[in-house]
Chain A
Amino acid sequence: MEEVKLLGAWPSPFCYRVIWALKLKGVKYEYVEENLTTKSERLLQHNPVHKKIPVLVHGGKPIPESTIILEYIEEVWPQNPLLSDEPYERAMARFWIKFGEDKTSVFIAYFQSIGEEQEKAKNEAQEALKTIEHGLGDKKFFGGEKIGLADLALGWIAGWLGAMEESAGLKLLEPNMFPHLQAWIRNFKEVPEIKENTPHHDELLAYFKSLRERSIASARS
């Protein structure tokens, strides 16, 4: 059995989606925490193009980019499938994974800005959540009855968004908004492999508060 290593950095949701996939498939791996301020030789060697985490290293071979890692994991360890066999369902899952990736900058903008700029980003972010709400419909998960790759890729909404909202001081997801998405968040958090492998809210809150202070300070200077 070839060795599996995951180069990551707490509390990156890009990293956690890979952890969730490995846990759901029962794949043993070694986790290596990388320092993103001073990047190790190992990280630069395994991801010379983007120099980012996560990187999965399987039998010494590196696979960077979380969404590509997810597809790789699905192909190498087919037990407990996270992607349908049916081409159209696969295309739909990939569409929602890509949608989430494309909208990352909108949520970052909402988190890092203040005043009018934040209001504008908030509206864009809510539009994105509305689209996700419609895409989900009344399905339990994006994959249907079972959790799948699209759920993992959008899983940051379940665990991270609340802490982001609290530290940004501006709510995105009001209690009366997007009922399907709210139900999905509850269902997602209850999946044992997710529940046992998500950072604690308080720790995330402290992390985001400090990150936001630094972002605003550097934007003002």
Chain B
Amino acid sequence: MADEVVLLDYWASMFGMRARVALAEKGVKYEYREEDLRNKIKSQLLLQMNPVHKKIPVLIHNGKPVSESLIIVQYIDEVWRDKAPLLPSEPYQKAHSRFWADFIDKKLYDACSKIWSTKGEEREAAKKDFIEILKQLEGQLGDKPYFEGEKFGFLDIALITFYCWFHAFETCGNFSIEAECPKLIAWAKRCMQRESVSRSLADEKKVYELVLGVQKMLGVE
């Protein structure tokens, strides 16, 4: 029986992109459904499939919903386990990857959204926080090609989806991320050479246009 896989998503969401990359790595065919979040319209399906948080992404596999992006990626890894393993098999390495993915979710999103959604001193503080967090992650990468070593995996997926937002952060914040974290940018460019990543990430110019639109609304250009 063929699997029916649907992804409820929003084109610019770095969390939704994680699911897209994971599905692409595994070669899973799925139906992509865009939620109109810009106009704050949530479909009946989304409200039904994620009644607790009413957020994307939601993966619907044969009618059963899975939400929360990192939980979705782990689910994809466990269901389609015969191809391209995403999490390390060794428990300590697995814990290490989960720790840093959790770190990204706890710290990175808040820091980077403040770069474009605030101004003046608050923006400068957010930039500083953001670079510090990236430097910690760069430290974890070290000289390895990917976070977990030779192979692209879970932690790379957790972070790479923020890369298409970097252009917007740099332009709003007037700084260069490459100047601060050259190894991390080299890693990002390496990841972008994978089709699963380049096809899943949003166009950085379109992301910047989106940010400009929201900034106008908030009055923080």
Mark A residues whose CB is within 8 Å of B: 49, 58, 61, 63-65, 67-69, 71-72, 75-76, 87-88, 90-91, 94-95, 98-99, 131, 135
Q: How distant is A168 from chain B, measured CB to nearest CB, in Å? A: 25
- Interface range on chain B (Cβ under 8 Å from partner): 20 to 34
Convert B87-121 into 0s and 1s, putting 1 for each residue whose CB lies closer than 8 angstroms to a CB of A: 00001101100110011000000000000000000
Chain A residue with Cβ nearest B78:
A87
Assess the B79–A87 pair: CB atoms within 8 A. Answer: yes
Q: Which residues of A contact B92 (CB under 8 A)?
A: 58, 61, 63, 72
Q: Does B166 have its Cβ within 8 Å of any Cβ on chain A?
A: no
In the complex, which residues 24-68 of chain B have their Cβ closer than 8 Å to any Cβ of chain A? 52, 61, 64, 66-68
- B103-A49 in contact (CB<8A): yes
Residue of B nearest to A99 (CB): B52
Contact status A71-B98, CB under 8 Å: yes
A211 CA to B75 CA, complexed, in Å: 40
Q: Closest approach, in angstroms, between the C-beta of A109 and any C-beta of chain B?
A: 18
Closest B-chain residue to A61, C-beta based?
B92
Contact between chains at B75 and A87 (CB < 8 Å): yes
A90 CA to B74 CA, complexed, in Å: 9
A87 to B79, CA, bound (A): 6
Report the minimum CB–CB distance from B195 to chain A (whole Å): 25
CA distance A67 to B92 in the complex (A): 14
- B71 adjacent to chain A (CB < 8 Å): yes
Is A88 within 8 A of B75, CB to CB? yes
CA distance A68 to B96 in the complex (A): 9
List 12 contacting pairs A-B, 8 Å CB cutoff, sorted by A.
A63-B95, A65-B98, A65-B102, A68-B95, A68-B99, A72-B94, A75-B91, A75-B94, A91-B66, A94-B68, A95-B66, A131-B52
